[in-house]
Structure 1
Amino acid sequence: MKRLLLILVCISLFISAFGQSFVLKGIVSSADGELLPGVNVKIQGTTVGTITDIDGNFQLNVNKGAVLEFSYIGFKKQSIKVNSQQMLNVELAPDQTNLDEVVVVGYGKAKRITLTGAVSGIQAREIRNVPTSSVQNALTGKLPGFF
């Protein structure tokens, strides 16, 4: 009788431990309501994560109390603590830090946000110690599209 009681207690402890994990579903959108595909969704402090599909949906197996990190290029990283909710709607705010950067182009200068062409950049320290006779040879292979 004591063994049976001990087995039942052990089983109930394991069942309660398994009950802490659940499937969390959610949608990630921008501040203007646009759905964001390809957002990285990761459980903080682990390597467990997923990315959103083309409609901004994600699905992840989490524990109650876990903290999810949402990151996407051009948007601020956001961390949200998960309670027992089954659905989570996340709204990411745009990150304006790189958009005000001024770029010097061959025919003047323009803000990066208004520039429609591709821009490549290189730091002087990357070519400072390259033994070559011309700047063109030093830049070859360092910038995409530069021959």
Structure 2
Amino acid sequence: MKNQGRLRFTYPILMLSMILICLNSFAQQREIQGTVKDENKLAIEAVSVNNKGTTQQVQTDRNGHFKMTVAHGSVLSISYIGYKTQELKVDNASIYNIILVKDNTALDEVVVIGYGTVKKKDLTGSLASVGAEAMKDKPVANVGEALQGRASGVQVINSGAPA
């Protein structure tokens, strides 16, 4: 009889503590969302939002929006070419509005090529640049025709076949 009374008292306490432990571990991860804009309040597409210390990374959509699940206290690193990288500590808020500031000082050090992005000092191949001035007065139907003959070693071929 005595054991049955103890069991009636112990069982609810045990169940309550199990529920509290589960709720606590569930509350550690939560979804946040945000918008990344420039100084003129224009949305920036394809901004990298990294959760520092993890491999978790998302990119903003064409409206500058992002969503990700993070732990409370995580540090987000927000970066985009031509803008200063920002770090943001996740607190109790679930919506973040981030303004990126232009950084023109290091822009000439980065070269975007057809298969990636490298620093100018690490590039081992040759570069050719065709500016808008070179194509401005040329009557063409598309960009491929405008590039034809402007950069040495570049052949523009349009076969009509899907890529």
Question: If you compute each CA radius of gyration, which structure gives the higher value, 1 or 2?
Answer: 2
Q: Which runs of 5+ in 1 are unaligned?
A: 102-120, 127-141
**Higher strand fraction (1 or 2):** 1
Partner of 2:41: 33
**Post-superposition shift, 1:8?**
2.5
Listed one character per residue, the Cα deviations across residues 82-131 of structure 1 (whole Å, up to 9, x for unaligned) are 11111100001111213578xxxxxxxxxxxxxxxxxxx976xx5xxxxx
Q: Structure 2 length as normaliser, TM-score?
A: 0.60
| Alignment of 1:94 onto 2:102 | yes
Matched residue, 1:130: none
The yes-or-no answer on 1:46 pairing with 2:29 is no
TM-score where L is the length of structure 1: 0.66
Residue matched to 1:76: 84
Deviations 1:51-106 (A, max 9, x none): 000000001111211111101010111000011111100001111213578xxxxx
Q: Which structure shows the bigger proportion of residues in helix conformation? A: 2
Question: How far off its partner does 1:20 sit?
Answer: 2.5
Aligned residue type for 1:70: I
CA contact (8 A) 1:30 1:93 kept: yes
Q: CA RMSD in A?
A: 2.5
Q: 1:49 & 1:90 partners in 2: Cα distance?
A: 16
Q: Which runs of 5+ in 2 are unaligned?
A: 1-7, 110-118, 128-150, 154-163
Matched to 1:89, the amino acid is N
The CA distance in 2 between the partners of 1:73 and 1:56, in whole Å, is 15
